[in-house]
Structure 1
Amino acid sequence: MQLYSRSAGSGLPVVLLHAFPLSSAMWLAQREGLAPFCRVITPDLRGFGGTLLGDDEPSVDAMADDVVRLLDEEGVDRAVVGGQSMGGYVTMALCRRHPERVLGVILADTKAQADPEPVRANRERIAEAVLAGDTGVLLDGLPTLVGATTRERRGMVLGRVRGLMQAAPPAAVAWAQRAMGARPDAFGTLRSLTVPALVVVGDEDEISPLADARAMAEAVPEARLAVIEKAGHLSAIEQPEAFNRVVAEFVKSLAP
């Protein structure tokens, strides 16, 4: 699967993988803000944005392999790889399957444990609903995707997230939900990392809260934890300046 991708800047390659059910459009502020420090590569994961879905069985492994093929196409041997939410799941799958391609890891508002059965069942419910034409079921989750501060004070951010969600094709939504539901526990992968990691979490994240971020940071041999204030599950969109600042510091620490 060939991924559509947007890039900016030059230098150390940093791949950022988007959250569900968004696209690489979510990384606009990162492509602008991080370009002076690194080469920012932001693909659309399969089915979203400009990338076709294909006919593979749903899995985060397939998405991780897609990203490695993109690195091959871009002539990148090793990169800093990171993601927000679903993008974090794909990042951890890539670390498990292709550790030799990773220079550093960024895990933002995500979690390493597999889904418990009730969460898997809810993912399947949403997948079946959107395929049956009920695209509104996806927007039911909008309030929890952002923090309380964004809900109360950042109407434009909320509107932007809603627009990105509404642009998600139903087939991609269903495929990604099933891929996420089937993903394995990743703590073993984190414990075996031999590169530095940055774990980022919004202090108002209700989906992947601070406890999940702290557990990931403690599992990685060399990790730092950054808490973004007044941000929820989409900290890169809600507080882009603060998010970019911690990522830029991390990337600079990896530069030769």
Structure 2
Amino acid sequence: MSTAAEHRLPLVLLHAFPLDSRMWDDVRAVLAEEVRLITPDQRGLGTAPLVAGDAAAPDADLAVVAADVVALLDRLGIERAVVGGASMGGYAAMALLRLAPERVAGLLLVDTKSEADQEGPRQARFDAATRIEAEGSADWLAAEMLPKLVGAATHATRPAVVDRLRGLIDAQPAAGIAWAQRAIAARPDSTALLRDAGLPTLIVIGEQDELSPPETAERLVELLPQGRLEIVPDAGHLVPMETPAAFLAAVLPWLAERRGL
């Protein structure tokens, strides 16, 4: 027997790097009242293993993550879903659109961007992956990333968010972090993919986001036939954790318009 939740709009939310699906905890309950919410851990992070049994690790490629999501949708009996992601999760959503466009009914892109890394940032990711494999990440990765992961307002007024983020970063397996770094570095530019897909797309960006700046999102949304942009004040690169009420205020009306897809 099917439940009422199974007839709601399916929404897949993919998490940021180097976190896991707990980043959605502050918005989970409200979203779950409106949609069929699916928040997997990316392979190698959170509770998701990097490999099954004694198999070799797959090549570091977000297409692998996209294939994992397709397999999950198959297990749940879901043909099409709105697919969303924050930061790395947005890159994975674009990889899913590239792999299986027929499974994507709309896109919710949060604090992410369509461009590939330039050579300098790409090499920095490879170098970080090598360092993580050599010495782990608990003693340095959070300290290095936190200054830019959240906005100035969060650092000044929401210390609990910063502390929680530090704990999430420190909890991730080193092998999964290194694999994700290499997969992000290898991603292609997805600007033309998003433009040509013509899907309903909501872009949510923190006003203080240094990693995916609002001006980058403004240029992208102009290319999207059904694109919409929401810039959230007093937030940086992780809007759902920094200002969950503002995130929900931006997202819920757009999701309501997607009912029936």
TM class by shorter chain equals over 0.9
Relative to the length of structure 1, the TM-score reads: 0.94
Matched, 1:148 2:152: yes
1:139-179 deviation line (CA, Å, top 9, x unaligned): 21111100000001101011111100001111011100000
Q: Match of 2:140?
A: 137
Matched, 1:240 2:237: no
- Taking the aligned partners of 2:177 and 2:33, their CA distance within structure 1 comes to 33
Amino acid at match of 2:50: L
- Taking the aligned partners of 1:179 and 1:219, their CA distance within structure 2 comes to 26
**Aligned ranges for residues 1-256 of structure 1 at < 5 Å?**
11-54=8-51, 55-135=57-137, 136-139=139-142, 140-256=144-260
Question: Aligned-pair distance for 1:30?
Answer: 2.1
3-state SS of the aligned residue for 1:141? helix
- Taking the aligned partners of 1:18 and 1:72, their CA distance within structure 2 comes to 20
- Taking the aligned partners of 2:222 and 2:66, their CA distance within structure 1 comes to 24
> Is the contact between residue 126 and residue 137 of structure 1 (CA under 8 Å) also seen in structure 2?
no
> Is the contact between residue 81 and residue 105 of structure 1 (CA under 8 Å) also seen in structure 2?
yes
Gaps of 5+ in 1: 1-8
3-state SS of the aligned residue for 2:58? coil
1:34-88 deviation line (CA, Å, top 9, x unaligned): 1121111100000011111021100011111111111001111100000000000
- Taking the aligned partners of 2:244 and 2:154, their CA distance within structure 1 comes to 12
> Is the contact between residue 82 and residue 105 of structure 1 (CA under 8 Å) also seen in structure 2?
yes
Relative to the length of structure 2, the TM-score reads: 0.93
> Is the contact between residue 193 and residue 221 of structure 1 (CA under 8 Å) also seen in structure 2?
no
- Taking the aligned partners of 2:35 and 2:122, their CA distance within structure 1 comes to 37
> Is the contact between residue 12 and residue 79 of structure 1 (CA under 8 Å) also seen in structure 2?
yes
- Taking the aligned partners of 1:110 and 1:137, their CA distance within structure 2 comes to 24
- Taking the aligned partners of 1:204 and 1:31, their CA distance within structure 2 comes to 23
Question: Aligned-pair distance for 1:134?
Answer: 4.2
- Taking the aligned partners of 2:32 and 2:220, their CA distance within structure 1 comes to 27
3-state SS of the aligned residue for 1:43? coil
Amino acid at match of 2:59: E
3-state SS of the aligned residue for 2:37? strand
- Taking the aligned partners of 1:62 and 1:134, their CA distance within structure 2 comes to 23
3-state SS of the aligned residue for 2:116? coil
Count of residues paired in the alignment: 249
Runs of 4+ that moved beyond 4 A:
none
- Taking the aligned partners of 1:216 and 1:96, their CA distance within structure 2 comes to 17
- Taking the aligned partners of 2:197 and 2:27, their CA distance within structure 1 comes to 25
3-state SS of the aligned residue for 1:16? strand
